């Protein structure tokens, strides 16, 4: 059951990224771009979570997951502070 939740988290964040980036392509609002990139990196973080806990449990990917999540939030903060 946990595997399904991890896969749904990847699909949800990837779908949000696609929708936000498509909205940016239509309206050219910078906040949509930064939000879309943030969700894209969060999808990568969810993929790393799935790999860490389900596929290769012998290798600890916690630091990579944490770094990608911090990078995603930093991108969103940059977009919120300097581009709005």
- pLDDT digit string (tens) for 21-40? 999 999 999 999 999 999 99
Report how far apart, in Å, the C-alpha atoms of 16 and of each of 31, 40, 48, 66, 81 are. Answer: 14, 8, 18, 20, 21
The pTM (predicted TM-score) of the whole model is 0.92
Helices (H), 1-84: 2-27, 30-50, 62-82
- Indicate the pLDDT class of residue 43, thresholds 50, 70 and 90: very high
Tokens standing for 83? 């581009």
User: Cα separation of 36 and 19, whole Å?
Assistant: 8
HSE of 30, CA atoms in CB hemisphere, 13 A: 10
User: Cα separation of 8 and 25, whole Å?
Assistant: 25
pLDDT value at position 24?
Answer: 98
Tell me the backbone φ, ψ of residue 83, rounded to 5 degrees: -105, 0
């Amino acid at each position: 059951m946990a595997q399904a939740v991890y896969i749904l988290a990847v699909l949800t964040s990837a779908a949000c990224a696609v929708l936000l980036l498509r909205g940016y392509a239509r309206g050219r609002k910078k906040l949509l771009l930064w939000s879309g990139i943030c969700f894209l990196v969060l999808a990568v973080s969810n993929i790393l979570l799935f790999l860490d806990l389900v596929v290769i449990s012998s290798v600890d990917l916690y630091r990579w997951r944490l770094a990608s999540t911090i990078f995603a939030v930093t991108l969103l903060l940059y977009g919120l502070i300097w581009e709005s």
